[in-house]
Amino acid sequence: MPSTNDTERPQEALDVAKQYLRRERPLSALVVALAVSVFSGTYLATSLLPAVVVAVILLVAARAPVLQSSGTIRLRTDADPETVVAEFTGPTPPVLALQWGVASEVTTEDDTAIYPVSYLFGLRSVEVAVDTHTDTTASGERLVESEVTVNGQPWATYTSTIRSTNEQTTIEVAYLSNRRFGLRRIPQELLAKRYRDEVLTAQGYTVVERDAHFGL
């Protein structure tokens, strides 16, 4: 299995992804700590049974799949269309930098890029995989579709339309999560929002417009 090592991942993008990771892990721990505090406070103020009821409600609310993310991104770069297509079809697509940037490594198997990510001090891990397909429209625009799975389960689809305009290349990206998430993902989603444009800028892409939705 050929691999892509850290030196082949854009260092500027890696730096941004690591900043995100340093803040995301404590934030996730804080969400758990708050839930435990609510349980403990209820137990101390009442008794075990009400505390258990509160714990069940918190667990259901946190994990119930009710939220879905979608949106569009318009990007611009001075790179030529062929260079952009190569980057979007390679093992480290620019729009997935927060995924491959926090992975322990990037490997490829056939046409699939794989990002192993560990958390909880290495006690748990997930494997993010990206399958990419390309096409060309009748007008000559290049289409790149990236299907993302996590541990073999559908996660999200990114469809990028790449075209040349006035000595620059524009990219229209439409994305849709293929699964729903619980309320516990809201803090993580808000934090990621802060870094998504920054990590694209670090790779030479200007974010012209972003329209993101995260809700029911």
Q: Is residue 17 part of a domain?
A: no
pTM for this structure?
0.80
Indicate if 125 and 173 belong to the same structural domain: yes
pLDDT tens sequence across 59-77: 766 666 667 889 999 999 9
Q: Which residue has better confidence, 189 or 79?
A: 79
Domain assignment present for 2: no
Tell whether 113 and 162 lie within a shared domain. Answer: yes
Q: Residue 121: pLDDT above 60?
A: no
Residue predicted with more confidence, 204 or 63? 204
Whether residue 136 is found in the same domain as residue 198: yes
**pLDDT > 90: percent of the chain:** 51
Q: Where would I find the H helices in 46-118?
A: 48-63, 81-89, 97-100
Query: Are residue 107 and residue 86 in the same domain, yes or no?
Result: yes
Mean pLDDT, range 135-160, rounded to an integer: 94
Same domain, 106 and 29: no
Q: How far is CA 113 from CA 15, 41, 147, 179, in A?
A: 21, 45, 11, 20
Residue 215 forms part of a structural domain = no
Q: Residue 204 gets which letter from DSSP?
A: T
| Same domain, residue pair 31 and 135 | no
Overall domain count for the chain: 2
- Structural domain of 50: 22-63
Contact at 8 Å (CB) between 141 and 160? no
Q: Which residue has the tokens 């056939």?
A: 110
- Mean pLDDT for the chain overall: 85
* pLDDT 10s digits, 31-53: 666 767 776 888 788 888 887 88
User: Per-residue pLDDT for 188 more than 80?
Assistant: no
pLDDT at 73: 96
Q: What is the CATH number of the domain that holds 187?
A: 3.30.530.20
Residue 13 lies in a domain: no
Same domain, 58 and 150: no
Within-domain flag for 15: no
Say whether pLDDT at 108 is over 70.
Answer: yes
Q: Are residues 152 and 83 in the same domain?
A: yes
Sheet of 3-4, strand order: 3-4, 106-109, 112-119, 124-136, 142-150, 153-165, 168-177, 68-77, 206-215
Report the distance separating Cα 95 and Cα 195, nearest Å: 11
Q: At what angle do helices 11-45 and 185-201 cross, to 10 degrees?
A: 170
Specify the pLDDT at position 1.
42
Q: Dihedral (C-alpha) 104, 108, 112, 113: value to the nearest 10 degrees? A: 30
User: Would residue 3 count as lying in a domain?
Assistant: no
**191 falls in which pLDDT band (50, 70, 90)?**
confident
Does residue 175 sit in helix, strand or coil?
Answer: strand
Q: H/E/C letters for each residue in 109-153?
A: ECCEEEEEEEECCCCEEEEEEEEEEEEECCCCCEEEEEEEEECCE
Residues 82 and 28 in one domain: no
151 and 202 belong to one structural domain: yes
- Higher-confidence residue of 150 and 56: namely 150
| Same domain membership, residue 76 and residue 126 | yes
**39 and 72 belong to one structural domain:** no
Across the range 138-164, mean pLDDT stands at 94
Q: Pick the last residue of a domain from 63, 79, 94.
A: 63
Query: Once rounded to an integer, what is the mean pLDDT over residues 156-183?
Result: 91
What's residue 29's pLDDT?
64
101 is a domain residue:
yes
